[in-house]
Structure formats: structure tokens, C-alpha cells
Amino acid sequence: MKLRLAGPLTLYGGLFALAALAIDQGTKLAVLHGVDFGETGKVTLTPFLDIVYAWNTGISYGLFAQGVDGWWLLGGLKIVAAVVFWFWLARVDRRLEAAALGLLIGGALGNAIDRVAYGAVFDFVSLHAFGYYWYVFNLSDVAIVAGVGLLLYDSFFGDAAK
């Protein structure tokens, strides 16, 4: 069996990965260094959206927090996931699947970079309505959720389902 590192749609998916990574890291840096959180650690933008200052030492949404000493384990898992997704991407033949995998790769690498640089992932988006608050997240998380959503759509309704 020959190891294949790139297929016809690898560049296409790679562009999605690069875009997700650049947007994530750019917004994190802009918020970290450009927003004055004051004493509350929160800036209200709309009645349903706040920008907050939060560090996530857990896996997703703060679950299974490992503390600062566990950053290498979680960061390493994200890097391994990105490599596995890249091998998958190298074998795809559908644009939707390539885009989805690119979003997963970019999102995983964006959060892995945070773990290496800071020992935790910087989350800053807080959505809320009618007294209910969603988990605080960042744009890598959005890319990951969008990638999973596209893969699910493709498996149930797209070309993969055919």
C-alpha cells in the first residue's frame, strides 16, 4: 500500500484549513491585545453577545480540565487529529468533504497553537438569550463544529450518501 500525502482536492481543503487557522489566530490576537475587558472581564456587544476573557484548560467547553500541566496532552491530541484528518483529506474526491476536513484541520491546529503558546485555549465569544448562556468559545471551535456539520450533511444528504 502506497502512502498518499496529497490528492486532487488536498489544496482545496488545505485552503480551508489555512483560512480557519488564520481567522482564528487573528481574532484571538486582536481580542487578547485590543480589547479592554476592565475589571469584569466582559464587554457587551449586543443583548445576546458578549466578548469575555476566558482560558480553557479542558477539552471542549471546559470539560475534563487538565490544568496548565496537561496542556501537552490535549495539544498533542489536537495535532494528532489534524494529521489524521490530513491523511483523510489526501484521499477525498468530493469538494464538500475536502472543505469539511480543512475546517477540522484548521480548527484543531488553531486550538493546538494556543495550548503550546499559552498552556490553555483562549475562548472569548459568549452567546446568551433569555437568561441562558451557551459555552464560551472561539473561532477554531466554530470551524470544528462547521466541519463536523458538513461531514454529517454529506453523509446523510450529499454525494457520500449516494
C-beta of residue 146 within 8 angstroms of C-beta of residue 103: yes
Work out the end-to-end distance of the chain between its first and last CA atoms, rounded to an integer number of angstroms: 27
The pLDDT tens digits of the residues spanning 113-135 come to 998 899 889 999 999 999 999 88
Whether the per-residue pLDDT at 101 is higher than 50: the answer is: yes
Helices (H), 35-138: 71-89, 95-118
When pLDDT is cut at 50, 70 and 90, the band that residue 80 belongs to is confident
The angle formed by the CA atoms of residues 114, 116 and 119, to the nearest 5 degrees, is 75
Whether the per-residue pLDDT at 53 is higher than 80: the answer is: yes
Active site residue 159: no
Whether the per-residue pLDDT at 15 is higher than 70: the answer is: yes
Active site residue 69: no
More confident residue, 61 or 7: 7
CA dist., res. 146 & res. 149, Å (int): 5
Tell me which of 24, 50, 141, 154 is the catalytic residue: 141
When pLDDT is cut at 50, 70 and 90, the band that residue 7 belongs to is confident
Whether the per-residue pLDDT at 61 is higher than 70: the answer is: no
Q: Mean of the pLDDT values across residues 131-142?
A: 94
CA dist., res. 8 & res. 89, Å (int): 10
Q: Mean of the pLDDT values across residues 31-46?
A: 96
Residue 76 is predicted with a pLDDT of: 72
Residue 6 is predicted with a pLDDT of: 75
CA dist., res. 94 & res. 158, Å (int): 10
Buried/exposed code over 107-139 (b: 16+ C-beta within 10 A; e: otherwise):
bbbbbbbbbeeebbbbbbbbeeeeeeeeebbbb
Residue 17 is predicted with a pLDDT of: 97
Q: Mean of the pLDDT values across residues 104-119?
A: 91
Residue 78 is predicted with a pLDDT of: 74
User: Crossing angle for the helix pair 95-118 and 139-156, nearest 10 degrees?
Assistant: 150
